[in-house]
Amino acid sequence: MKKHYREELGNLKETVLRMGGLVEQMTHRAIQALVERKTEMLAEVDAMESQVNQLHIDIDEICLEMIALRQPTAADLRFIAAAMKINTDMERIGDQAINISERAQFLLTVPPVKPLIDIPRMAEIAKGMLRDALDAFVNGNDALAYDTIHKDDLVDQLKDQVFRELLTYMMADPGTIPRALDLILVSRHLERIADHATNICEDVIFMVKGKDIRHQGPLA
């Protein structure tokens, strides 16, 4: 029967975490498939996406019902508002993982341009950021959220580095252009995942401190 308010809040937290775990895993698998050249792994990414889509709907429904039925205030209200926004960012991360998987579909049918080094590094950082962002959300840890936001610069730098490096390959041999472009897109998708993780951190800081730090330029 009906659950207590606190249980419902706990349930929401768990559901957000479950979805976060899935999109992280999607990213992980898509990159792993690309690096280890295992096409069959890509099917797993698709399978996880349908679960993510369902959770996307579920989380919004839970939040909307709680607002309508429980009239949350103060910290509870900020928590639910944050959960709704984080929900959107997580769904987009899932979409980016699907984009990576689609690039991989093509890249795994052709010989590699070069060994992949920076892309797996980007993926590690982006996944770590997502993990930390969700950890900060669950534990209301704004310090961790701030630290995580700073890591976004690293991902941006790596993306530029990947671009510059692949540019040299394309200039040297135009036959590499389709493959190199797809790798550039993969790095772009990873960079977007890190951006979404940054958004989650901003929502966490608002949730904990009630302070909106968005659109204020570089953090001190």
Partner 1 sequence: MENALQVKDLCAWFGDHQVLKNITMDIRRNSVTSVMGPSGCGKSTFIRCLNRMHDLTPGFRVAGDVLFDGRNIYSEKIDPVLLRRKVGMVFQQPNPFPRMSAFENVAVGLKFNGKKRSRAEMAETVEKSLRMAALWDELKDHLGRPGSSLSGGQQQRLCIARALAVEPEVLLMDEPCSALDPMSTAKIEELIEDLSDKYTIVVVTHNMQQAGRISDYVAFFLLGDLIEMDKAAKIFTNPADKRTEEYITGRFG
8 Å CB contact between 163 and 187: yes
Residue 40 in tokens: 């069959």
- Give just the sign of the alpha carbon dihedral 159, 35, 175, 109: negative
CB of 70: closest distance to partner 1 in angstroms?
6
CB of 3: closest distance to partner 1 in angstroms?
8
Q: Which residue, 68 or 220, has its beta carbon nearer to partner 1?
A: 68
Residue 10 to residue 14: CA distance in whole angstroms: 6
Going by C-alpha positions, the residue among 150, 137, 143, 133 that lies closest to residue 207 is: 137
CB of 206: closest distance to partner 1 in angstroms?
24
CB of 69: closest distance to partner 1 in angstroms?
4
Residue 63 to residue 80: CA distance in whole angstroms: 6
Q: Which residue, 12 or 113, has its beta carbon nearer to partner 1?
A: 12
CB of 90: closest distance to partner 1 in angstroms?
22
Q: Which residue, 2 or 164, has its beta carbon nearer to partner 1?
A: 2
The pairs formed by 41-48 with CB atoms below 8 angstroms and a separation of 24 or more are: 42/101, 42/104, 42/105, 45/97, 45/98, 45/101, 46/98, 46/101, 48/22, 48/23, 48/94
CB of 67: closest distance to partner 1 in angstroms?
9
Q: Which residue, 61 or 153, has its beta carbon nearer to partner 1?
A: 61
Q: Which residue, 8 or 44, has its beta carbon nearer to partner 1?
A: 8
Q: Which residue, 74 or 172, has its beta carbon nearer to partner 1?
A: 74
Q: Which residue, 59 or 100, has its beta carbon nearer to partner 1?
A: 59
Alpha helices in the chain (DSSP H): 5-36, 42-70, 74-107, 118-139, 142-150, 152-172, 177-209
CB of 9: closest distance to partner 1 in angstroms?
13
Question: Applying CB under 8 A, which residues contact partner 1?
Answer: 1-5, 64-65, 68-71
Other beta carbons within 10 angstroms of residue 84's beta carbon come to 17
